[in-house]
Amino acid sequence: MKRFLTILLGLSLLFNFNLRADEGMWLLSMMGKNYEEMKKMGFKLTPEDIYSVNNGSIKDAIVGLGNEGSPFRHFCTGEIVSDQGLFFTNHHCGFGMIQSHSTVEHDYLADGFWAMSKDQELSNPGITASVLVKMEDVTDKVLAEITADMSEDDRAAKIKEISKGIVAEATKENLYDAYVTDMFDNNQFFLFVYVIYKDVRLVGAPPSSMGKFGGDTDNWEWPRHTADFSMFRIYTAPDGKPAAFSEDNIPLKPKHFLPVSNKGVKNDDFAMILGFPGTTNRYLTSYGLEETMNITNKLRFEIRDVKIKILREEMKSSQKVRIQYATKYARCSNYWKYSEQQNKALKQLNTIAVKKDIEKQYEKWANNNKTEIYKETLGLIETAYKTRQPYAVARMYLIEGLISGTELPYFAYQCSGLISALDSKDEDKIQKNIQIIKVAGDEFYKDYNPDTEKKVIAALFEYTYNNLDKQYHPDVFQLIEKKYKGDFGKFVDKAFDKSIFATKESFNEFMNNPKSKTLQNDMMMNAGTSILKKYREVNALFWSSSDGLDKGRRLFTRGLMYMNDGKLMYPDANSTIRLTYGKVGKYDPRDAVAYDYYTTLKGVIEKEDPNSTEFAVPKKLKDLYYAKDFGPYANEKGELSVCFITDNDITGGNSGSPVINAEGHLIGLAFDGNSEAMSGDIDFEENLQRCINLDVRYALFIIDKYAGAKNLIEEMDIRN
């Protein structure tokens, strides 16, 4: 937490809490207020060097990666490192794109990929790259017509209406995209204007044995030895405007790109990170924390554990299955481990007690405040969480166990719109639906193995059946009880034998001559329909039982803001661009355990395990190590640094974010947090919180010495 600046500092002064350093995900337009502290820590640039609307600045080199349907929900961050639109991000951020280009014949996941010229770069339809143009506080405009007697629904509708007008004005007569989002639980509002590029091409990636070195075992752990990077390039139309993929497109000419430092880092060096952190809940109450720990995290871990074990065995069975399920496994396993580790950290730090203490002090303040509305806030919040508790449990089982956990029932359900189209006899409508479903089918079956899916469905159906309260069971469970005597394996075998969705071949054959009655009687479609029907019922109960929560949270956060009037506060992360600053630093997580601030290639060799796919080391990398052929990328001790840690405040979405030194040069890529501080999204712990970063010198070494991609080395501005 930044000294004398953040909300919890205000609470510490008011409530006698301990001060905590280096916390904060700061809005770029507010950086002037942090500048003096940054200078004291060693920062050598100006606020305008970070954020400027009229001149090129560091923010123009920061890329938010998204999908075409939701470009503002940035799943990762990247940074432009050349005047030709070349950018770095993490290997795990590019993993899905690398996987999409991989085949048994060209296994880029296993072997890596490097474009030695621009004509070898691979397009990635649907992936977007957003660069911030400007941001603006529009709170006064948004709240101008909001009154105290409005219901929460009316308030939300009016805010949406006004925000739509603000966005329309901001994007009038230009090629920008924009949106208005809330901060501080709907107490402040900001307009973000972006230019969104739609032609993003894969340039390079190390093999997964390096890019995912350590796998699940090392995930969220330090020390780390992972080459977690990949490289892409943004292309534009010949006139420099955003455009979909075309052979005529040209590399982006950015307003700014980051020089790449080959100088390395030392303990206590200044380090700042710019990126798109996804979600934090620093203002969460004890009631919300109990739901997070006892329902969300607990059930997510337990349900995904069933799927993880099946996928591990299946992916060992063949190269094809490994490629098909690589991205799915990565997505599933990441927050499987995160959920468990976060609960451990929250219990270790006794965060529930911390939250309850804050609430006691808040109630004392509210009771002494003349404005009556603050007295009811915690009551509203407590009631909402208690009332929705059974529905929160049911939602998790339905989502994790039956909707996202299994794939085929939900895919079949998504095709159910074809029934009404066929029944309408409207040939245009029918053909339109068929074409949409065929495209979706091509994408779905590319990464689908029937035998694997059968095992996942049977296991997750049975697990959900045994653990979810029967009143929330979908109708398909009653069918399995009665007709199949509760034997989920038999049901799945029968469904796969009969369903047109069971294989790509049967699906395509049916789509050539679809019949409404066949769909209506399809076992897998009926299973998916019954699951979604029950989910809608439970979801409606969940939200109707949450009445008062939005108002309670909004007023609680507003009360905290009033209590700390005049002190700089940062809002929770919400996928908008932020800056965090701190230092490179070692730490001592436990008694008699002390961690240095960097790791080296020696650690990769020491961790090698020929019997584990997680710790395989390519022969060429070993040859380079034993020859000490590190090129110009070794440190002053002759070691090749691999990763380093800082005390920067990051979360999911920051993956791939640039770690930047005091001169504004790229020194690393953020890619993970440490397990001892997995509480960080809710409760920042300054003595333990560490951001794990790839040392950019290791990336340069791999590009140059391992891959031989001299074209990329020559393209970057490398500072020695």
Spatial CA neighbour of 388 closest among 296, 281, 532, 291: 291
Question: Is residue 84 within 8 Å of residue 252, measured between CB atoms?
Answer: yes
Query: What is the rounded distance in angstroms from the CA atom of residue 282 to the CA atom of residue 293?
Result: 14
In the three-class reduction of DSSP (H, G, I as helix; E, B as strand; rest coil), residue 718 is classed as strand
Where residue 149 falls (left for φ over 0; alpha for ψ -120 to 50; beta otherwise) is alpha
Spatial CA neighbour of 673 closest among 692, 686, 649, 647: 692
Q: How many CB atoms lie within 10 A of CB 67?
A: 12
Residue 433: HSE in the Cβ half-sphere, 13 Å Cα cutoff: 22
In the three-class reduction of DSSP (H, G, I as helix; E, B as strand; rest coil), residue 271 is classed as strand
Based on its alpha-carbon atoms, the radius of gyration of the chain, rounded to whole angstroms, reads 26
**Helices 91-101/319-348 angle, 10° precision:** 160
Q: Cα angle at 656 between 167 and 334, to 5 degrees?
A: 100
Residue 223, amino acid: P
Query: What is the rounded distance in angstroms from the CA atom of residue 500 to the CA atom of residue 511?
Result: 9
Token duo for residue 647: 């005390």
Q: How many CB atoms lie within 10 A of CB 598?
A: 22
Spatial CA neighbour of 307 closest among 274, 330, 338: 330
Does 185 participate in catalysis according to the annotation? no
Query: What is the rounded distance in angstroms from the CA atom of residue 71 to the CA atom of residue 200?
Result: 13
Query: What is the rounded distance in angstroms from the CA atom of residue 583 to the CA atom of residue 41?
Result: 8
Does 92 participate in catalysis according to the annotation? yes
The position carrying tokens 């009332």 is 387
State the pairing for strand pair 199-205/691-695. Answer: unpaired
- Give the active site residue among 163, 655, 657, 679: 655
Question: Is residue 698 within 8 Å of residue 675, measured between CB atoms?
Answer: no
Residue 605, amino acid: I
Query: What is the rounded distance in angstroms from the CA atom of residue 454 to the CA atom of residue 461?
Result: 11
Residue 699 sits at φ, ψ, to 5 deg, of -65, -45
Spatial CA neighbour of 302 closest among 454, 451, 466, 543: 466
- Give the active site residue among 74, 91, 92, 473: 92
The C-alpha torsion from 109 through 111 and 117 to 122, rounded to 10°, is -20
How many residues belong to the chain?
720
Query: What is the rounded distance in angstroms from the CA atom of residue 431 to the CA atom of residue 687?
Result: 61
Query: What is the rounded distance in angstroms from the CA atom of residue 250 to the CA atom of residue 237?
Result: 6
Beta pairing partners, 583 = 270
- Give the active site residue among 228, 522, 550, 704: 228
Token duo for residue 542: 């969940």
Beta pairing partners, 450 = none
The catalytic residue positions are 92, 228, 655
